[in-house]
Structure 1
Amino acid sequence: RIVLSFDFPFYGHLLRQVTIATGGFIFTGDIIHRMLTATQYIAPLMANFNPSYSRNSTVQYLDNGTVFVVQWDKVYLQGKEDLGSFTFQAALHRSGRIVFGYKEIPVPVLQISASQHPVKAGLSDAFMVLNPSPDVPESRRRTIYEYHRVELDTSRISSLSAVEFTPLPTCLQHQSCETCLSSELTFNCSWCHVLQRCSSGFDRYREEWLSYGCGQSDEKTCEDLAEGGHYSAPPGSSVSVSPGAVTSPTASLFLDSLTTEDDTKLNQFAGGEGSSLPSQSAGAPIPTGTVVGIVVAVLVLAGAILAGIYISGHPTSSAALFFIEPRPPPPPAMKFRNHGNHGSYAEVEAASQEKEGFVEAEQC
């Protein structure tokens, strides 16, 4: 995972972190999940490469402040090393321009098998849906939907060739209501006065866009939007939305179980394990009583060990003689007798102790 020295605009979103994959692509998402190859990628040549096959195989990157370059150099396909090595790169320019350069492509890309790993070339972005409904299984609560993709014609990828992507204007680049509604370069742009954001409704902020009721007003002027734009979602409210609600995560997470909607395969992929995150943060404070108890226990144990060492080394000392001194026999056990119908003691049944139950709560 690499932190860029500049903001890279990707589909209108300013990225500062990317993840370099050995499989010939750059992952642009915030949430690391099992289906990295399905959405949110910049892929000059996504395939099942194995850089550990040869000492000459490397994956290198360079960031000079205006362009970020990743080069897969002399990498071989897993199980197909006899086909030869591949050398190619992806350059992300500060302006949003993307260039794929291919130096060595020993075989046609169409001949690369996709059975063990997807084979793709192009761009893709997606948004995430979080469904908090208790009726939805935990493994299906997080879903990523791909909203746009650019696919290269892999038959045209060859040695000593290059492909350039020039970004089109997006609604997110407009910073005011006037420029948003009057824009002629972008299409289907709406202004949300509550969020102070221009959007088409299909980007990584889609869940927030729907949660605040943006894009549903019939007013066409900025004055009308300002008058009716005082709605805000109530604190702690859960908004259940149809496919297409996304949040922009601020922290990087690893989710083994994440349903992914991929347009190439209209199946939803979900893992069955590892979907729950710890419910207690790692930095939670430890109670003072617990700390004191631990310290006392350690001191008592250390004292007992030191006393044992001292006695074993000084068998004639007073402490050693104390432990080997004979003790008087214990008094005889007290006997209870019954006199008539009056019992000398009453038998008391131990109260049944009910085991406290714990319900394991899983956090989304």
Structure 2
Amino acid sequence: MPRPSGHRQEDNHSYYVSRAYGPSEPRSRELWADVAEANHTQVRVHRILSSAHRQASRVVLSFDFPFYGHPLRQITIATGGFLFMGDVIHRMLTATQYVAPLMANFNPGYSDNSTVAYFDNGTVFIVQWDRIYLQGREDRGSFTFQVALHRDGRIVFGYKEIPMSVREISSAQHPVKAGLSDAFMVLNPAPDVPESWRRTIFEYHRVELDTSRITSASAVEFMPLPTCLQRRSCDTCVSPHPAFSCAWCHVLQRCSSGFDRHRQEWLAYGCAQEAEGRTCEDFQGEDPSSASPDSSTSPQDRDVVVTTSASSLVEEGLTTEDDATVNPSEGGDGLQHNLSPDSKARPVHLGTIVGIVLAVLLVAAAILGGIYISGHSNSNAVLFLMEQRPHRWPAMKFRNHPNHASYTEVEPVGREKDGFLEAEQC
């Protein structure tokens, strides 16, 4: 039976301990940060996000924020009530790698009074979605909530105004989530596109909050727990851990459970096998810098191991030879295929001929593309290519997924290159 909303609830999530506070608890009021009382030179209102729908913009923190044991200096603020914590910007930001006080289909552009602002004083980074409305449900009132990232790794969700039950918010057009998530990426040769690569995201951990506890004047506090990555030596790494089975990789000089953002590197260097049956004394005198990735372990072998322990979320095609994205075929899963031995052993002269043919085809495609663009400047295909900024190529393009909304990254232009306006003190 759930506790009354006025009581505190504590849960252990392996990487974090969450404490939820109801409206009647003093701690919920203590955790709310009054941005209006902060130094106005440290508070910035993001002008574009404050007048946009399904947009996101990256911000550089003034300190390293530990997220699942990984120090992050850059995050992405999204209009949909969440932060994206991944390194690679893509359109499906809602899938994983997020910090979401309340992810939903918010549209700050609906009202001139809606703002998305952030505050950074070197100790804490706060983002506040202030008086924003749900797309298509504007009659239910405005929402005001915030997330605070503390330098010590604490994460705080504060809710000031929640005009309706979160469980009543429709997720048909946009996911509705509250919690944390992290994932790792695996890069493989694309079986259907020569000289191309496919990235697959695997979510290895998620914290889902009980949305029925999200009400006005409530709060949630996440306390980070020690991870394997924070253990810096072999002796400390192999000591018992209450939540993880940590192993020491002498080659990388890293402690890990094998499931973090460095997953592919961990497997490529054979760290899982290196630790089997060996003690810290066995590593003494060995030179870790002399090791190299295990070429006998194919990408296919490494990825099959991953799929048994984490769920694949999204895939994309990434070319390595030109500045265009390539979508993988709908039939492939990006994991169970690899280049055949025969294709790798082709004579050199055949590869040269193929290369020349491809070069001629690329030139022809570029010429035809220029002719098409000049005559169809307003077509969807041309607008899409214009959206892919050259300095960001080779770019990732994720296939559309029915359960995840598509986001685009905004970059200010002209004099407002930082995209910020200082908030006035109240």
Choose 1 or 2 for highest CA Rg: 1
Q: Which has the higher helix share?
A: 2
TM, length-normalised to structure 1? 0.67
Give yes or no for contact 2:163–2:216 (8 Å, CA) kept in 1. Answer: yes
Q: Note if 1:196 corresponds to 2:253.
A: yes
Shift of 1:223: 1.7
Q: CA RMSD in A?
A: 3.2
Match of 2:161 among 104, 118, 131: 104
> Superposition pairs for residues 36-185 of structure 1, below 5 Å?
36-132=93-189, 134-135=191-192, 141-185=198-242
Task: Give the residue type in structure 2 aligned to 1:75.
Answer: I
Q: Which residue of 1 aligns with 2:277?
A: 219
TM, length-normalised to structure 2? 0.58
> Superposition pairs for residues 181-330 of structure 1, below 5 Å?
181-216=238-273, 217-226=275-284, 231-233=291-293, 239-240=299-300, 241-243=302-304, 269-270=314-315, 275-276=318-319, 279=322
Shift of 1:219: 2.5
Q: Which residue of 1 aligns with 2:73?
A: 16
3-state SS of 2:212 partner: helix
3-state SS of 1:107 partner: coil
CA separation of 1:120/1:138 partners in 2, compared to 1, >3 Å: closer, same or farther? farther
Task: Give the residue type in structure 2 aligned to 1:69.
Answer: I
Give yes or no for contact 2:61–2:120 (8 Å, CA) kept in 1. Answer: yes
3-state SS of 2:139 partner: helix
> Superposition pairs for residues 28-43 of structure 1, below 5 Å?
28-43=85-100
Shift of 1:20: 0.2
Give yes or no for contact 2:269–2:294 (8 Å, CA) kept in 1. Answer: no
* CA–CA separation in structure 2 for the residues paired with 1:118 and 1:46: 7
**Where does the alignment leave 5 or more consecutive residues of structure 2 unmatched?**
1-57, 325-355, 363-392, 396-426
Shift of 1:231: 3.8
Shift of 1:132: 1.6
Shift of 1:35: 1.7
* CA–CA separation in structure 2 for the residues paired with 1:243 and 1:62: 43
Higher relative contact order (CA 8 A, sep 6+): 2
Give yes or no for contact 1:131–1:141 (8 Å, CA) kept in 2. Answer: yes
Give yes or no for contact 1:138–1:275 (8 Å, CA) kept in 2. Answer: no
Shift of 1:8: 0.3
CA separation of 1:201/1:226 partners in 2, compared to 1, >3 Å: closer, same or farther? farther
* CA–CA separation in structure 1 for the residues paired with 2:209 and 2:299: 37
Task: Give a deviation string over 1:119-156, Cα, whole Å, max 9, x none.
Answer: 00000000001112535789982110100000000011
* CA–CA separation in structure 2 for the residues paired with 1:141 and 1:280: 15
CA separation of 1:184/1:69 partners in 2, compared to 1, >3 Å: closer, same or farther? same
Give yes or no for contact 1:169–1:185 (8 Å, CA) kept in 2. Answer: no
Give yes or no for contact 1:128–1:245 (8 Å, CA) kept in 2. Answer: no
CA separation of 1:363/1:108 partners in 2, compared to 1, >3 Å: closer, same or farther? closer
3-state SS of 1:242 partner: helix
* CA–CA separation in structure 2 for the residues paired with 1:134 and 1:51: 42
Task: Give the residue type in structure 1 aligned to 2:303.
Answer: S
Shift of 1:245: 6.2
CA separation of 1:238/1:215 partners in 2, compared to 1, >3 Å: closer, same or farther? closer
Shift of 1:184: 3.5
Q: Which residue of 2 aligns with 1:5?
A: 62
* CA–CA separation in structure 1 for the residues paired with 2:156 and 2:79: 18
Task: Give a deviation string over 1:251-305, Cα, whole Å, max 9, x none.
Answer: xxxxxxxxxx996xx7x5456xx85466379xxxxxxxxxxxxxxxxxxxxxxxx
Give yes or no for contact 1:123–1:150 (8 Å, CA) kept in 2. Answer: yes
Shift of 1:187: 2.3
3-state SS of 1:215 partner: helix
* CA–CA separation in structure 2 for the residues paired with 1:109 and 1:235: 50
Task: Give a deviation string over 1:177-215, Cα, whole Å, max 9, x none.
Answer: 111112444521000000000000000000000000002
Q: Percent identity?
A: 66
Give yes or no for contact 2:198–2:315 (8 Å, CA) kept in 1. Answer: no
Shift of 1:225: 3.6
* CA–CA separation in structure 2 for the residues paired with 1:231 and 1:9: 29
Task: Give the residue type in structure 2 aligned to 1:218.
Answer: E
Task: Give the residue type in structure 2 aligned to 1:16.
Answer: R
CA separation of 1:92/1:131 partners in 2, compared to 1, >3 Å: closer, same or farther? same
Task: Give a deviation string over 1:27-66, Cα, whole Å, max 9, x none.
Answer: 0000111221010000000000000110100000000001
Q: Which residue of 2 aligns with 1:349?
A: none
Choose 53-62 or 225-234, whichever is displaced more: 225-234
CA separation of 1:270/1:134 partners in 2, compared to 1, >3 Å: closer, same or farther? closer
Aligned length: 271
CA separation of 1:168/1:105 partners in 2, compared to 1, >3 Å: closer, same or farther? same
* CA–CA separation in structure 1 for the residues paired with 2:298 and 2:143: 49
3-state SS of 1:166 partner: strand
* CA–CA separation in structure 2 for the residues paired with 1:46 and 1:37: 8
Q: Which residue of 2 aligns with 1:291?
A: none
CA separation of 1:84/1:165 partners in 2, compared to 1, >3 Å: closer, same or farther? same
3-state SS of 2:237 partner: helix
Task: Give the residue type in structure 2 aligned to 1:100.
Answer: F
